[in-house]
Amino acid sequence: MKAMVIGLDAASPDLIHRWIDRLPNLAHLSKQGVHGILESIVPPSSIPAWQCFATGKGPAKIGNLGFTYIGRDRKIKHGSTTPSMRCIWDICSDAGLRVGVFNVPGTHPPYPVNGFMVAGFPIHSNESLSYPADLMKRLDSAIGGYEVDVPLTKPSEMRGGEVSFLLEVERLHRKSVESAKLLIDWFRPDLFIMTLQGLDMIQHHFSHYMREPQSQYANIVRHWYVEMDKAVGEMRKMVEGDTHVMVMSDHGSIPTSTSFHINEFLRSRGLLVGNHNGGETVANSGSFRRIRELAMKHVPVSIVRTLYNLSPRVISDKFTVSAEMERVLRDLVQSIDWKRTLAFSTGGHGAAIYVNSASNGGSSPLATRSDIIRRVCNLLGELTDPISGEKVRPVFHFREKAFRGPHQDEAPDLIVELFERDQKIQINPRLGSRSIWNSSPHFSATHVREGFWALTGPQVRPEVELNASILDLAPTLLSLLNLEVTEDFDGHVLHTVFSQPELS
């Protein structure tokens, strides 16, 4: 194998540094090669961050703006990976290299490559999860049923709570690692790219226990960093010493303080107006959600998992939380008075705010777009968290800089990340609660842009600390593989990591 990429979703450089003495494989990679902070995209969401890594291009250049979002036509959109994006595995495949793509978020449905592709979450139907299609039958047989996700991704909604959730994450993790090892044995790819999801799931729901030393879960986040390090060690044993090995995260993780209902805030300031439903759609869906959650707490996890794996999407959308954000956005579209609304938000790990321009049927002429953005920035810049009394620190990302490319017009006009002290405020886009602040955020940790990366191999200098952009990694890997790096990349080849001149 020429190169292996091991993605650790949401791995935090701060926590890796804190626990490096317990992480021998990451410590070895850092010492033998280059490592540092990896700056993710805006906003730091797994989709399209993994696609931006794989293409070396920003979201607006590849036309992938997120897991689920509202288009300018007010229809729900889903981000996915397509051959036209020209991911690194497409380029290598076309060059005659045998490639393997495993469990990368946003790769469903899988498509033909010179090698194989096993789709990562989210799964939008019960169609084939692999290319070639018959590979999934072989993988299912080998590991006792391949699994893509933990369908109930919140311990409080699961029968057995935290204990059941941890068992499900462990189950998924072990199957992922074993699947990856089998696929390497079966296909012997030249380039293998995989991701492991456990850290993201654990940090989302257990980070708050790090501040509760008396809890039985106080060290569970650390435990999972150790588990991921062990997985890196297992994967390293699958390759020879002349293989370039990269470990990376699509973004980092940080504890949350409170939850901020961005659309309720915009409504309270006269920028968003509800329609005649007045949020009734959201209230009704909330009632259904509470009934579903109550029912799910009494259904064995094994049955929920089976339903998730076998049911058509219309059922899985109703009885799992996998499509929760889509339900929220559908409700939002139905609850807004589009003729009188100036701005709205689809939430996310940074508040994605859209100006409702006249060209899209809204009330604000294009000439006032900058005025509305300025007004939103001023309002968010004056925020104080009423629960903690802390002044909120906003970080603004404007469309013209964060989203460059032919799909810029589809992108949010503004992305806002809200911080207080060393924590981040979770953004909630729901409309209908009439409450702006909530002291019980859905997640106990959320995403930040600061991720981690390390790279080692025969052409890489040892003991180099170098911060980089996630967009730099694909062109750098292509250079290591002696393939042409075109001018179409937004990222750059990291020439300083090479121990000898590149051959391409």
CA distances to 301, 305, 467 from 293, rounded to whole Å, are: 13, 15, 43
| Amino acid occupying residue 424 | K
Name the strand (E) or helix (H) holding 453. strand 450-456
Quick one: pLDDT band at residue 295, thresholds 50, 70, 90?
low
Phi/psi at 282 (5° precision): -65, -40
Give residue-wise pLDDT tens across range 183-204.
999 999 999 999 999 999 999 9
Neighbours of 395 (CB within 10 A): 14
Cα–Cα nearest to 187, from 139, 121, 231 = 139
Q: What's the pLDDT at 423?
A: 96
Q: What's the pLDDT at 162?
A: 94
Q: CB-based contacts of 383: which residues, under 8 Å, 6+ apart?
A: 391, 392, 394, 418
Task: Read off the pLDDT of each residue in 263-284 and give the average, rounded to a whole number.
Answer: 78
Quick one: pLDDT band at residue 296, thresholds 50, 70, 90?
low
Give residue-wise pLDDT tens across range 321-357.
557 788 889 999 999 999 999 999 999 999 999 998 7
CA dist 1 and 7 (Å) reads 17
- Reading the block at residue 134, the tokens are 């018959």
* Bridge partners for 415 per DSSP: 352, 397
CA dist 164 and 84 (Å) reads 40
Torsion of CA 234, 101, 174, 225, to 10 degrees: 60
Q: What's the pLDDT at 217?
A: 97
- Rounded to two decimals, the pTM is 0.93
H helix intervals, 1-45: 13-18, 24-32
**pLDDT of residue 318 exceeding 60:** no
What is the SS3 string spanning 198-234? HHHHHHHHHHHHHHCCCCCCCCHHHHHHHHHHHHHHH
Q: What's the pLDDT at 503?
A: 45
Q: What are the domain boundaries of the chain?
A: 3-251+449-497, 257-274+336-446, 277-334
Task: Tell me the Cα Rg of the chain.
Answer: 22
**pLDDT of residue 209 exceeding 50:** yes
| Amino acid occupying residue 373 | I
- Reading the block at residue 493, the tokens are 């080849």
**pLDDT of residue 312 exceeding 90:** no
Q: What's the pLDDT at 281?
A: 47
Task: Read off the pLDDT of each residue in 135-164 and give the average, rounded to a whole number.
Answer: 88
CA dist 232 and 236 (Å) reads 6
CA dist 193 and 393 (Å) reads 37
Burial state string for 260-275 with b = 16 or more CB within 10 A and e = fewer than 16? bbbbbbbbeeebbbbb
**pLDDT of residue 269 exceeding 50:** yes
CA dist 199 and 196 (Å) reads 8
Q: What's the pLDDT at 151?
A: 73
**pLDDT of residue 280 exceeding 50:** no
Neighbours of 317 (CB within 10 A): 16
Tokens 């002044």 map to which residue?
391
Q: What's the pLDDT at 445?
A: 96
Give residue-wise pLDDT tens across range 431-466.
988 899 999 898 999 999 999 999 999 999 999 999
**pLDDT of residue 277 exceeding 90:** no
CATH code for residues 3-251+449-497: 3.40.720.10
Give residue-wise pLDDT tens across range 367-411.
589 999 999 999 999 999 999 999 999 999 999 999 999 999 999
Q: What's the pLDDT at 134?
A: 95
Give residue-wise pLDDT tens across range 248-262.
999 999 999 999 999
Q: What is the percent of the chain with per-residue pLDDT over 70, rounded to a whole number? A: 87
Neighbours of 434 (CB within 10 A): 12
Answer whether 368's CB lies under 8 Å from 359's CB.
Answer: no
CA distances to 457, 485, 491 from 494, rounded to whole Å, are: 14, 12, 9
Q: What's the pLDDT at 300?
A: 74
Give residue-wise pLDDT tens across range 34-93.
999 999 999 999 999 999 999 999 999 999 999 889 988 889 998 999 999 999 999 999
Q: What's the pLDDT at 292?
A: 60
